[in-house]
Amino acid sequence: MGRAEIGVAALRLLNIDPTASMAQLAAAAGVSRATMHRHFATREELVKHLGWLSLRSWRDALDAARIDEAVDSGDTARAREALDGLCRELVRDAAEYGFTLTEHSLESDDDIVSASEIQAKREYAFYVAAQDLGVIRADLPVPWIANAVFGLLVGLRRCLSHGDIAVRDAERLLRETLLGGIGA
């Protein structure tokens, strides 16, 4: 049981119960409180660590979707593909790091916040390009687009945890709703 595995185990429980105590998280990881504190001196440190993992996973999603290449190429079809890929990757990301989406303490951490703002700008750049290429509406503020995606991920996560939809449908629902809305 290394630091990494303990972190993952804690993450799993936090996804279910975001208020779990260190004792509960230690138990979930199959480790004593003492060992837990040896790896993560404070709960804050643990949550922050997971926040960084989440940021990295988000970055990986942007990478996997090849949004930068899509921006550079200036090709509509590639932008469309990238947007599809982004939906796929973000669904995976949200499923894995769901609790970070609504964890208030992360939003009051300057390091995390500034890092996530930097990354958001990268995503913004993609949306701007997608607007220019006619893939997404140009009359919507880019921050709203990003937050709409974010919000839909939150909704998706709720559906999944309530058993309202199947995991395999998640990506399609996000993609179709995001792109085309729910209007008939």
Partner DNA sequence: AGCGTATGAGACATCAATGTCTCAAATGAA
Partner DNA sequence: TTCATTTGAGACATTGATGTCTCATACGCT
Chain residues binding DNA by CB under 7 A are: 1-2, 21-23, 30-35, 37-38, 41-44
* Tokens 């996997």, residue located: 64
Residue 18 binding target from a copy of itself, DNA, none, CB below 5 to 8 Å by type = a copy of itself
Which range, of 29-37, 47-55, 64-72, 97-105, touches a copy of itself by CB under 8 A?
Answer: 97-105
Residue choice 13, 18, 125, 128 for contact with a copy of itself (CB under 8 A): 18
Close Cβ partners of 27 (under 8 Å, ≥ 6 residues apart): none
Residue choice 41, 114, 158, 167 for contact with a copy of itself (CB under 8 A): 158
Give the shortest CB-83-to-a copy of itself separation in angstroms.
9
Residue choice 19, 34, 110, 168 for contact with a copy of itself (CB under 8 A): 19
| Six token digits for residue 70 | 């899509």
Residue 150 contacts residue 101 (beta carbons within 8 Å): yes
Close Cβ partners of 64 (under 8 Å, ≥ 6 residues apart): 85, 89
- d(CA 150, CA 171) in angstroms, rounded, equals 14
Residue 152 contacts a copy of itself per CB under 8 A: yes
